[in-house]
Amino acid sequence: LIIGIWGGPNKIYAAFKFFLYTLMGSLLMLVALIYLYTQSGGSFALADWYKLPLSSTAQTLLFFAFFAAFAVKVPMWPVHTWLPDVHVEAPTGGSAVLAAIMLKLGAYGFLRFSLPILPDASQEWAWLMIALSLVAVVYVGLVAMVQQDMKKLVAYSSVAHMGFVTLGFFVFSDLGVSGAIVQMIAHGFVSAAMFLAIGVLYDRVHSREIADYGGVVNTMPNFSAFALLFVMANCGLPGTAGFVGEWMVILAAVKSNFWVGSAAATALIFGAAYSLWMFKRVYLGPVGNDNVKGLTDLNPREFLVMASLAIAVLFMGVYPKPFTDVMDASVADLLRHVAISKLN
């Protein structure tokens, strides 16, 4: 509704595309939920589903039914194609909610449904999940590099960053799962900040094209400082929220398989390439045109929002311990449950 009512010129197309993608995946998930309800003797309690003795065939079918719903939401490659269209048409607030909150629902689904209810199938198909995650990290990172629209660039970078989340879940280690959850939270702050920063520029110039800007730092110095921090966090700079989760997942992946970890680490290179190149073309250098010359710096409302996100990004990057402490017991319990089912 947010996209369809307040979106851009192709808002109806984008809203329908989003709706249809989500609907197709969710219908398969609904079938899986009904099957689990019948198998558990009429219970929708997750605790009951965790104890179900499901056959390997049933687990595999249910795994892919859940996968259909959660992969679209994350979104994983190759069902990620709705995301750039939807972000481009969505208003700034819609993009922030979509990137910061809704994409996390898919990853949360893997964590609460696929892994504990279907541990055998999760182990069996982990190679596929890891492969798709690496494609998202590497290939989609390269796609982001050639974008001319700022929103499309950040949308593709979201797909690449969320690839770390699914990768972390399916290496089955404390470090990997904890890193993936930290990455979910960090990406919520960083991607929302990136989209809101683009919204600040769009409100003034009514263009998202990188070519329509240049030298913004000359007319909006305060805003440019915030934008630089968020771009650095998007690259995964140490000391920012974007670094912590990605680094934990890369370490866990290297421990599991050196080549998987090496492929994942390329995201830090690609992330720096597309983020910093965009920053250079939009913010640095001489004033690009009359539109940029007439820009005004942040108003108090915009400053408050940017400062709040900046504090969150820096706090989580410098001191992530409160986040990891809270999740440690749950992560250990989940991995113990998956390991026990493998032994059985």
Dump the DSSP string for 255-290. Answer: HH-HHHHHHHHHHHHHHHHHHHHHHHHHHSSS--SH
Structure-model confidence comparison of residues 38 and 290, the more confident one: 38
Rounded CA gap, 167 and 176, in Å? 8
* Long-range CB contact pairs, 251-257, < 8 A, 24+: 251/175, 251/179, 252/168, 252/171, 252/173, 252/175, 252/176, 252/179, 253/167, 253/168, 253/171, 253/176, 255/171, 255/173, 255/175, 256/171, 256/172, 256/173, 256/176
Q: Which three-class secondary structure state does DSSP give residue 172? A: coil
Q: Give the pLDDT score at 253.
A: 87
Contacting residues for 280 by C-beta, under 8 A, at least 6 apart: none
Q: Among residues of the chain, what percentage have pLDDT more than 90?
A: 1
Contacting residues for 18 by C-beta, under 8 A, at least 6 apart: 3, 82, 86
Contacting residues for 279 by C-beta, under 8 A, at least 6 apart: 227, 228, 231
Rounded CA gap, 121 and 62, in Å? 9
pLDDT tens-digit profile of 91-112? 888 888 888 888 888 888 888 8
Q: Which three-class secondary structure state does DSSP give residue 149? A: strand
Q: Give the pLDDT score at 85.
A: 80
- Token pair in block for residue 278: 């965009």
Rounded CA gap, 39 and 143, in Å? 44
What b/e readout covers 236-266, taking b as 16+ CB neighbours within 10 angstroms? bbeebbbbbbbbbbbbbbbebeeebbebbbe
pLDDT above 60 (res 294): yes
- pTM for the predicted model, two decimal places: 0.84
Q: Average per-residue pLDDT in the chain?
A: 84
What b/e readout covers 2-15, taking b as 16+ CB neighbours within 10 angstroms? ebbeebeeebebbb
Instruction: Report the sign of the C-alpha dihedral through residues 114, 115, 120, 122, in that order.
Output: positive
pLDDT above 80 (res 42): no
Q: Give the pLDDT score at 323.
A: 83
pLDDT tens-digit profile of 228-277? 999 888 888 888 888 888 888 888 888 888 888 888 888 788 888 888 88
Q: Give the pLDDT score at 19.
A: 86
* Cα Rg, the chain, nearest whole Å: 21
CB-based contact 267:246 (threshold 8 Å): yes
Q: What is the mean pLDDT of residues 309-337?
A: 83
Dump the DSSP string for 180-245. Answer: HHHHHHHHHHHHHHHHHHHHHHHHHH---BGGG---HHHH-HHHHHHHHHHHHHHHT-TTSHHHHH
- Token pair in block for residue 80: 């990620």
pLDDT above 80 (res 290): no
Q: Give the pLDDT score at 20.
A: 86
pLDDT above 80 (res 43): no
Q: What is the mean pLDDT of residues 299-327?
A: 87
Q: Residue 343: which pLDDT band, with cuts at 50, 70 and 90? A: low
Q: Give the pLDDT score at 342.
A: 56
Q: Give the pLDDT score at 207.
A: 81
Burial category of 93 from C-beta neighbours within 10 Å (exposed 0-12, middle 13-18, buried 19 and up): middle
pLDDT above 60 (res 344): no
**Out of 50-59, 170-179, 187-196, which region has the weakest mean confidence (pLDDT)?**
50-59
Domain ranges for the chain: 2-343
Q: Give the pLDDT score at 298.
A: 80
